[in-house]
Amino acid sequence: MTGIDVPEGGDLPEGTGVSQGADVSQGIARRVLTVPHPLLTERARPADPGDPRTAVAVADLLATLRRLMPYTGLSAPQIGMPLRIIAFDVSRHPHARSCAGEVVLLNPRLVAASRWEPGREGCVSVPGFAGGTVRAARISVRGDLPGGASVTVHADTVEARCVQHQLDHLDGTLFLDRISEAGAFHPAWLGTAVPALTRPEASQPAPMRGS
């Protein structure tokens, strides 16, 4: 089963996305941190849905992810904000089976995982390289929307791998830490250049606007 469960507050069918509640009009596309930046190996702190600084982080995260297409996911720590927030959208990936649309989750946690399979992945924070990892091909992840409602997202294959990759970032884990064997790490050409995100101050941990 794939899709989105909304225990309270109505029904969101698969494919509509769950970035509702996020005001992205003021979002800024930030520079993505790359290894060996120390923030990438630190555990992020919980995000408070009622904190105005969380809304800033969500808006900037979405603005950055949209600028990075065709990359499929991004976490707040990757843009210098050490909060437990992820965003993903696999709608443009040619091999995606499940697709919840553009999703933003606060404080996400994995609640079910099955069908572990090998696969290849890369990361915008580790530019130019890819590696073989083993991930669950079917997962359920629970978290909060920017507006505060709780949801459970069920994902398969590409979307499941993308979500697990972003969850790792929240715990300071890179895909490099999960490479199955030495020969599975190699240079990669992703077919497109990473867009230049020219906000110089974002190369440092971002100040939490609204504080």
123 is in an annotated binding site: yes
Rounded-to-integer distance, Cα 57 and Cα 60, Å: 5
DSSP 3-state assignment of 20?
Answer: coil
DSSP 3-state assignment of 157?
Answer: helix
165 is in an annotated binding site: yes
Q: Residue 177 contacts by C-beta under 8 Å, 6 or more apart in sequence?
A: 168
Question: Is the CA virtual torsion 174, 138, 66, 10 positive or negative?
Answer: negative
E strand or H helix at 128: strand 126-144
Among the residues of the chain, which ranges form H helices?
Answer: 52-68, 157-170
One-letter amino acid for residue 72 of the chain? T
Annotated binding residues, written as ranges, equal 123, 165, 169
Residue list for the binding site for Fe cation: 123, 165, 169
